[in-house]
Amino acid sequence: MKTLLRSLGIVTIALALAPFGANAELSEDTHITRDDHTRLDIERATFDEFKRFYDAGYPPASVMLQGASLGMSLEDMVYLAVMSDPDRAAEFYATAVDLMPSLPGWVCRTGNVRDRYANYFTTEQLGSPASIRAIADEWFDNARVLAPFPDWKQNQAHVNASVSELAGLADASKYWYKPGGDRGSPIFVSLYRDIREIVVGGVDALRAAQQSGRSSVPVVVVYNHSFQRPLSRFGAEASVTEIANEFFDKRIEITAVPAWETGDFHMQASVADLMALVNTEVNRGVRQDKSTIERKISEHGGVVTAPLLVTLLRTGTGQVWIDSPATLEVANSMGVSEVPVTLFYQDIDRQPCGAPSACEAQICGAAKAAGGIVQCEADSGQ
């Protein structure tokens, strides 16, 4: 096994995480898992990415090691692999079992979710017109999600929903991010099951749709779990320190922004708060010319326009990293009081894996749920 890992090391590092075209048919939502937390739905681009690796002939072990580096469980990796090529189910299952002893314990989920890969429904079951309230109730009451998850960057959406219904659900006091620019559609609707809350994002885009007389708009549904919250739950005066402490102490996260790379951000954060929170001398990041940064801030009227990327690392007492310490330092020296920030969460304080036999059973179940025909070790005791 050690020889196998050494031989795959260069290949694994070389796998690039770039989105590919939405050319695969994914009939069910899947989820990235970490510890006993279920992550956000894997987008179709991620599925296509894994499929492309397999189709290009990368060894399954190499692709699965890449998945582990992304925080994916072995169960989810096998599910995606078998969905990409059901005829290789036995190979994928055997590879996962072979890799398991050499991977961190967290790659095996510590809990088991019954019917994990089957608890979905489709737009055909919604009726017409599609009701956002009905979609939300399926999640709140039955933990059922709408499939497949669309690649909204390719102009896909879950449903076309009524503008009047969305307007009735929208509340400017409830939010989880600020759009970085005018992207138009789709409208994002974020659902929080444990607090039964519906939060409509992009209120300005919705208002524009109303003013133009449109009767419906495309909607992408964002499903949240018990550790996720809308930013508005923290109040209008929330600080990054407060949000970080909630993550470090209770694992509470703010729902991810739709597209940080195009300028979506979570909040305007106090520069003084960030300066106290971030060790800019240690967290130097990429060296930047401070005079260039100062000129850009001055050209924009003393405002920092590009969001700073703030990573909260939950290990020990917690650490906070920032992508551009120089920007923060220059903003502070120029007397800028607030800067936009986008939050990212990393949690490496994971619970250990359960018994290997339990993990094998989960991997076997994932392979079968994805349509593979495989004889598993777990079957021998049945």
Write out pLDDT tens, residues 43-96: 556 667 777 787 777 888 888 887 776 667 788 888 888 887 888 899 999 999
Percent pLDDT > 90 in the chain is: 37
Mean pLDDT of 22-44: 38
- Closest residue by Cα to residue 34 from 96, 93, 76, 78: 76
Task: Compare 349 and 364 and report the one with higher pLDDT.
Answer: 364
The confidence score (pLDDT) of residue 345 equals: 85
Give the domain range for residue 262: 235-347
Across 99-108, 127-136, 233-242, 305-314, least confident range: 99-108
What is the helix (H) or strand (E) element at residue 321, kind and residue range? strand 319-322
Task: Compare 339 and 41 and report the one with higher pLDDT.
Answer: 339
> Which of 207, 226, 245 marks a domain boundary?
226
pLDDT digits (tens, 9 = 90+) for 230-283: 999 999 899 999 999 999 998 899 999 988 888 899 999 999 999 999 876 656
| Residue 180 belongs to a domain | yes
> Which of 226, 255, 286 marks a domain boundary?
226
Q: Are residues 159 and 202 in the same domain?
A: yes
Residue 113 clears pLDDT 50, i.e. is over it: no
Amino acid at 343: L
Task: Compare 339 and 74 and report the one with higher pLDDT.
Answer: 339
Q: Are residues 217 and 287 in the same domain?
A: no
Q: Are residues 136 and 222 in the same domain?
A: yes
State how far the Cα of 261 lies from the Cα of 264, in Å rounded to an integer. 7
| Residue 197 belongs to a domain | yes
- pTM (predicted TM-score): 0.68
| Residue 114 belongs to a domain | no
| Residue 36 belongs to a domain | yes
The confidence score (pLDDT) of residue 72 equals: 74
Question: Count of domains in the chain?
Answer: 3
State how far the Cα of 88 lies from the Cα of 93, in Å rounded to an integer. 9
| Residue 115 belongs to a domain | no
Q: Are residues 202 and 248 in the same domain?
A: no
Percent pLDDT > 70 in the chain is: 76
| Residue 177 belongs to a domain | yes
State how far the Cα of 174 lies from the Cα of 189, in Å rounded to an integer. 11
